[in-house]
Amino acid sequence: MAMREITLAKAVSEAIAEEMRRDPTVFVMGEDVAEAGHPFKTLAGLVQEFGVERIVDTPISEPGFMGIAVGAAMTGSRPIVDLMFGDFLFLAMDQLCNQAAKTHYMSGGKLKAPLVLHTNLGATRRSAAQHSQSLHALVAHIPGVKVALPSSAYEAKGLLKTAIRDDNPVVIFHDKLMYQDKSQIPEEEYLIPFGVANVVRQGSDITIVATSSMVQVARQAAETLNREGISAEVIDPRTIVPLDEETILASVRKTGRAIIVDEGHQSFGVTAEIASRINEKAFYYLDAPVRRVGAMDVPVPFSPPLEDLTVPTPKVVAEFARLMMKGEPFHVA
Amino acid sequence: MSSMIDTKRATEAAWETPNSDEYLRMYRQMARIRAFEDNANQLYLSAKMPGLTHMSSGQEAVAVGVCSALENDDKITSTHRGHGHCLAKGAEIKLMFCELLGKVDGYCRGKGGSMHIADQAHGNLGANAIVGAGAGIATGAAFSAKRLGTKAVAVCFFGDGALGQGLVYEVMNMAALWKLPVIYACENNLYGEYTKVDEMAAGPITARAEAFGIEAHVVDGQDVLAVNRITRQLVDRARRGEGPFFLQLNTYRFHGHHVGDINRDYYRTKEEETFWKTERDPILLFGHWLVAEKIVGLEQLQAIEAEVKVETEEAVAYAQAAPYPPLEEVTMHVFVEKAA
Amino acid sequence: MSRDVIMPALGMAQKTGLIVRWLKQAGDPVKAGDVLMEVETDKAMMEVEADADGTLTDVSAAAGEEVPVGEVIARIADGSVAAAAPAARAPATPPAVKSPPAERTQTSTPARTPAVAAAPAPSPSPSPSKNGRIFASPRARRLAAEQGLDLAKLAEAGRPQPYLVQHLEELRALAPEPAGGATFAATAPSASPLRLTATLAKDGLAEFCAWRRAETGAPTEEIAVMAGMAAAAFRPSASNAELVVAAYAFGAARSFVNADRSGLGSAKAVDTPANPELVLRDLRGAAVTDLSLGAEAAPTLSVMRRGVETFITLECAPAQLRPEAAIELISEFAGRLAEPLRHLL
């Protein structure tokens, strides 16, 4: 199979362009999406091919254009709404969660809202508290919304194409620090299905489940651990709604130990949900409590040395793994 | 400004063709809505209907006048006070009662209830429990219509209370920028919940739309023919790409904010209510006009009322006897499952 | 025609209303809009109006009565009606016993089962064995139970808790060694061991090995083949992905890993580990015709000669195998031993 290398930003614009060529009802709307091609340049080239009628610049009206996208989706269009920063999700929440997410259910299956909310997450860019949040847990909590978390350019293209073809509201988050990261992708068209996790690295001593850019963190920790004789298995769920539980559970049954790494806040988030499911369905295979590594429960600070403290790192993940292998009790017996 | 008024008067004159069949149809529709609301109210008071509902009695001319100017494929979005809009856009009475009672034959298989009734086959994108949210959806429907070239028009029904929601202005701004085929129909019934409109909305209502360069009109919401006339003009122009438009319809709700709002005199006087119920009832006004113009006799109107009464009571009985959804349906329709 | 006057529902959670006073009596003429009575709910006092013109009749609830919502308490008759005796109404029952109206959907919450396992928060205690409570990981606990090991022995030996899988080796080493130079520990189980037997008219092992040697030209040892059969028979009950069978023949121990995964007879021998999952003893060369040794650290299959017949025993602790699993193990093993070729196909 012929392969070529592209950046994540290019993967996004390729996925959108391919889907827009395939389906004339798909269009993009958001701030600075047309001539500017998006501040992160993920949409560069699209307005040249599809024109301003399909790549629609909006005023700074997140509730407004999210609402318009919902109405358009309910009446035959397939909008891709670009939200410049994931932090702006709060502005769009009523439209996404009270309207789009519930339309199919509240209408008894008669109406649907096929739309993609395309946005980002991730800190350490020195953008401070209101431009650095990872809010995917909030939308994953709402029945009726699917959530995709690509961990590379390869994942980004395949998952975004699937999202655009899905008949439900899908929120897809890229880590904003990964736009220039490259992967190899096939020349031929490919899609990545939702609800199928990827075992990034096989191992037998401990399972590390990681999302988005935390997959890189987990991989680096695994390499360090490998040099110490600890064999870590790294799993990328790719989508948290739907979640591929079975791959995670099979791994934990094998290893008996699990660490979940996610850039949402430590409390009340994705790590807690996955840890809980492992507890419910693989309890008798656990040789240690499941550990969670999330972002610190603080607003993201501006000052660089402080900001860097708040996110999961390979060092922290590896240290947890060592303690779990030793059998270090995490609380007094 | 004055030239716009002259043009309006000229176009109004051109629309003056009388059509007695259509008038009787509209009268029957208004009577149906009134009967529906009365029965729904009774169902609630006799503890036979779960949850709450919001009566639109008194506002029939708005719903019927506007919806009679729309085609089946034109879209509407509605509010929590949406039974009138739903019926006027073509819904069946008995299926609406089923939905209000949570029965499986209801428009949303019982899963929406009064505040979320949607009738997709007749272009009704749904009542909405979030005040103002319909504005986003209606504007989006207009966006789709323009993008996909369907020639459909969208009407957004909202109340004077929704004038406080920022979303409404955001989408009016975009509708004006992109010249979308949407009509913002503001049902000004003088009260947002329990507060007078002039304590909640500063400045003239129409000025808000005009600030975006959107042409705004005001009409007596109790005069079904006037409502219908202006709507037909605006719909036609919207279809030709001259939209969006704003239409303020002055009306009154006879009941309280919701069915439990019975003792209201702390915010509305009994005299005011009596005045609107006796002097400004849209059905009485239209009936008097039809008889005075000799379009129909009083006995015919009474016959319509009697038929509607029977129709509605049968619909209630049907809905009360209808089954609830099977329990498995609780987890259905969260997601659209793609056919393999 | 008369219309019902009902006790109205005036709030979402309201189930009854208290009639404070009637402003009209039975027989009074009323017009639509006239106040009929004052009703008190938990929120407020409300006036209830007549919704039609007529005469008030059949008043069946009095001031001071608590009436369920939806219940008919009077009628408005149009035209004059002789004051009829009010229909007897069931006396109001105390509010606490009211059941909601039939049509109200009963939300059924799934029964919240209380935490089944009595699991008090662990309190730090200096010597856990005093409490009797043993802290161990779920995996360690399960494996210990399967292998018939008693975690309390670790506590007695002074190993600090909690116990993990890595401590089971130590636990095994604590148990006394059985006579006969076996290289694995035996523990006395508290419950009676399981002992199952099977008899074969003849076994096809020698024949199969000869056939395989001829077909493949490869050396084929009976013990390796037998280990493969035992592994295949035991696979459904195996808890480890790497299934180790310790095989004994002529006094020598050989172990095979995943002997059922390579071709029958081609499994490679490895050093016998401390904790095989299954033990196989080929005693056909010995004079033993029966044995009853009790359970050992792992389920044990023994194969003996009785004249021309082949006699098989399976012994294990009840915690190691459920009865059905034990029956399946010996049946499958015996079947394969009887007709090796049939099971290959």
pLDDT band at C1 (very low <50, low <70, confident <90, very high): low
Residues C317 and C238 in one domain: yes
Residues A182 and A214 in one domain: no
Answer whether residue A300 shows pLDDT above 70: yes
N-to-C CA span, chain B: 58
DSSP-derived 3-state class of residue C135: coil
Residues C338 and C200 in one domain: yes
pLDDT band at A333 (very low <50, low <70, confident <90, very high): low
List the single best residue of B147, B184, B332 to mutate versus A (max A Cβ within 10 A). Answer: B147
Radius of gyration of chain C (CA): 41
pLDDT band at C86 (very low <50, low <70, confident <90, very high): very low
Q: Is A131 a catalytic residue?
A: yes
pLDDT band at C113 (very low <50, low <70, confident <90, very high): very low
Residues C235 and C166 in one domain: no
User: What's the pLDDT at B317?
Assistant: 97
User: What's the pLDDT at C176?
Assistant: 61
Between C257 and A76, where is the model more confident? Answer: A76
- Domain count of chain C? 3
DSSP letter at B265? T
Last residue of a domain, one of A165, A186, A207: A186
**For residue C85, how many C-alpha atoms fall within 13 Å in the half-sphere facing its CB?**
3
Answer whether residue C87 shows pLDDT above 80: no
User: What's the pLDDT at A249?
Assistant: 98
Cβ within 8 Å, pair A67-B116: no
The answer to whether A324 touches A258, Cβ cutoff 8 Å, is no
Answer whether residue B193 shows pLDDT above 90: no
pLDDT band at B178 (very low <50, low <70, confident <90, very high): very high
Q: In this structure, is residue C287 part of a structural domain?
A: yes
Last residue of a domain, one of A125, A154, A186: A186
C-beta atoms surrounding A317 within 10 Å: 27
The CATH number covering residue A315 comes to 3.40.50.920
Q: In this structure, is residue A332 part of a structural domain?
A: no
The answer to whether C161 touches C133, Cβ cutoff 8 Å, is no
The CATH number covering residue A155 comes to 3.40.50.970
Mean pLDDT over residues C25-51, rounded?
A: 85
Mean pLDDT over residues A150-178, rounded?
A: 98
pLDDT band at C81 (very low <50, low <70, confident <90, very high): very low
Last residue of a domain, one of A158, A186, A214: A186
Q: Min CA distance, C266 vs chain A (Å)?
A: 26
The one catalytic residue among A62, A155, A233, A263: A62
Dihedral through CA B206, CA B211, CA B215, CA B220, nearest 10? 0
Peptide bond into C162 cis (omega under 30): yes
Topology of the domain comprising B19-325: Rossmann fold (3.40.50)
Cβ within 8 Å, pair A286-C137: yes
Residues C76 and C215 in one domain: no
Answer whether residue C67 shows pLDDT above 80: yes
Strands B195-196 and C252-257, bridge-based pairing: unpaired
Residues A28 and A97 in one domain: yes
A-C CB pairs within 8 A amount to 38
Between B205 and C85, where is the model more confident? Answer: B205
Instruction: Say whether residue C13 is in contact with chain B using an 8 A CB cutoff.
Output: no
DSSP letter at B85? H
Using a CB-CB cut-off of 8 Å, the residues of chain A touching C137 are 256, 286-288
Question: Residue A257: closest CA among chain C residues belongs to which residue?
Answer: C139
Q: In this structure, is residue A191 part of a structural domain?
A: no
Using a CB-CB cut-off of 8 Å, the residues of chain A touching C167 are 327
Between B16 and C53, where is the model more confident? Answer: C53
User: What whole-number distance in Å separates Cα of residue A70 and Cα of residue B141?
Assistant: 8
Mean pLDDT, chain C, rounded, equals: 78
Q: Give the max Cα distance, chain C.
A: 115
Q: Min CA distance, C40 vs chain B (Å)?
A: 12
Answer whether residue B43 shows pLDDT above 60: yes
The CATH number covering residue C26 comes to 2.40.50.100
Answer whether residue A246 shows pLDDT above 60: yes
Answer whether residue A85 shows pLDDT above 60: yes
User: What whole-number distance in Å separates Cα of residue B139 and Cα of residue A324?
Assistant: 55
User: What's the pLDDT at A123?
Assistant: 95
List the single best residue of B114, B119, B172, B174 to mutate versus A (max A Cβ within 10 A). Answer: B174
**Residue among B52, B102, B263 whose CB faces C12 most closely:** B52
Q: Min CA distance, A331 vs chain C (Å)?
A: 9
Residues A267 and A312 in one domain: yes
CA dihedral (C248, C254, C256, C262) positive or negative = negative
DSSP-derived 3-state class of residue C277: coil
**Residue among A71, A112, A146 whose CB faces B136 most closely:** A71
pLDDT in tens, A59-76: 999 999 999 999 999 999
**Residue among C162, C165, C167 whose CB faces A329 most closely:** C162
DSSP letter at A94? I
Instruction: Say whether residue C122 is in contact with chain A using an 8 A CB cutoff.
Output: yes
- Domain count of chain A? 2
User: What's the pLDDT at C131?
Assistant: 58
Domain that holds residue A55: 3-186
Using a CB-CB cut-off of 8 Å, the residues of chain B touching A105 are 111, 333-334
pLDDT band at C103 (very low <50, low <70, confident <90, very high): very low
Share of chain B above pLDDT 90, in %: 81
User: What's the pLDDT at B198?
Assistant: 85
Mean pLDDT over residues C60-87, rounded?
A: 76
User: What's the pLDDT at A187?
Assistant: 95
| Structure-block tokens of residue C281 | 């003893």
pLDDT in tens, B255-298: 888 888 887 888 888 899 999 998 999 999 999 999 999 999 99
User: What's the pLDDT at B10?
Assistant: 46
Using a CB-CB cut-off of 8 Å, the residues of chain B touching C69 are 46-47
Cβ within 8 Å, pair C9-B47: yes
**Residue among C9, C12, C103 whose CB faces B45 most closely:** C9
Interface predicted TM-score of the whole assembly (ipTM), two decimals: 0.90
pLDDT band at C116 (very low <50, low <70, confident <90, very high): very low
Answer whether residue C60 shows pLDDT above 50: yes
Low-confidence winner among A3-7, A93-97, B136-140, C159-163 (lowest mean pLDDT): C159-163
pLDDT in tens, B102-135: 999 999 999 999 999 999 999 999 999 999 999 9
Reference C244, options C235, C264, C337, C252; nearest CA is C235
Domain that holds residue C273: 194-344
Q: In this structure, is residue C100 part of a structural domain?
A: no
Interface of B with A in 13-42 (CB under 8 A): none
Residues C162 and C211 in one domain: no
Residues of A with CB under 8 A from a CB of B: 25, 27, 53-54, 56, 58-59, 61, 63-77, 94-95, 98-99, 103-112, 114, 143-144, 146, 166-168
User: What's the pLDDT at B16?
Assistant: 59
User: What whole-number distance in Å separates Cα of residue B174 and Cα of residue B17?
Assistant: 36
Q: Min CA distance, C258 vs chain A (Å)?
A: 16
Cβ within 8 Å, pair A333-C135: yes
Cβ within 8 Å, pair B51-C46: no
Low-confidence winner among A83-92, A260-269, A322-331, B163-172 (lowest mean pLDDT): A322-331
**Residue among A25, A68, A105 whose CB faces B171 most closely:** A68
User: What whole-number distance in Å separates Cα of residue A222 and Cα of residue A169?
Assistant: 35
Q: Is A187 a catalytic residue?
A: no
The CATH number covering residue C254 comes to 3.30.559.10
User: What's the pLDDT at C46?
Assistant: 81
Q: In this structure, is residue C102 part of a structural domain?
A: no
**Residue among B75, B174, B335 whose CB faces A59 most closely:** B174
User: What whole-number distance in Å separates Cα of residue C96 and Cα of residue B126?
Assistant: 40
Share of chain C above pLDDT 90, in %: 26
A-B CB pairs within 8 A amount to 150
Residue given tokens 């009360």 in the structure block: B320
Answer whether residue B95 shows pLDDT above 50: yes
Q: In this structure, is residue C323 part of a structural domain?
A: yes
Q: In this structure, is residue A163 part of a structural domain?
A: yes
Q: Min CA distance, A287 vs chain C (Å)?
A: 5
Chain B neighbours (≥3 Cβ pairs under 8 A) are A, C
Cβ within 8 Å, pair C11-B324: no
Q: In this structure, is residue C85 part of a structural domain?
A: no
| Structure-block tokens of residue C167 | 């401590």
Share of chain C above pLDDT 70, in %: 77
Evaluate if pTM is beyond 0.80.
Answer: no
Cβ within 8 Å, pair C103-B52: no
Read off φ and ψ for residue C35, nearest 5 degrees. Answer: -80, 125
Residues C40 and C157 in one domain: no
Mean pLDDT over residues C201-226, rounded?
A: 86
Low-confidence winner among B92-106, B323-337, C148-162 (lowest mean pLDDT): C148-162
Mean pLDDT over residues C234-252, rounded?
A: 84
Answer whether residue B334 shows pLDDT above 80: yes
Residues A208 and A172 in one domain: no
Residue type, B229: R
Residues A176 and A284 in one domain: no
Residues A203 and A153 in one domain: no
User: What whole-number distance in Å separates Cα of residue A29 and Cα of residue A15?
Assistant: 16
Instruction: Say whether residue B332 is in contact with chain A using an 8 A CB cutoff.
Output: yes
Last residue of a domain, one of C174, C202, C229: C174
Q: In this structure, is residue C247 part of a structural domain?
A: yes
Interface of A with C in 260-319 (CB under 8 A): 283-288
Answer whether residue A226 shows pLDDT above 80: yes
List the single best residue of B336, B337, B338 to mutate versus A (max A Cβ within 10 A). Answer: B336
Read off φ and ψ for residue B208, nearest 5 degrees. Answer: -65, -40
Peptide bond into A242 cis (omega under 30): yes
Cβ within 8 Å, pair B50-C105: yes
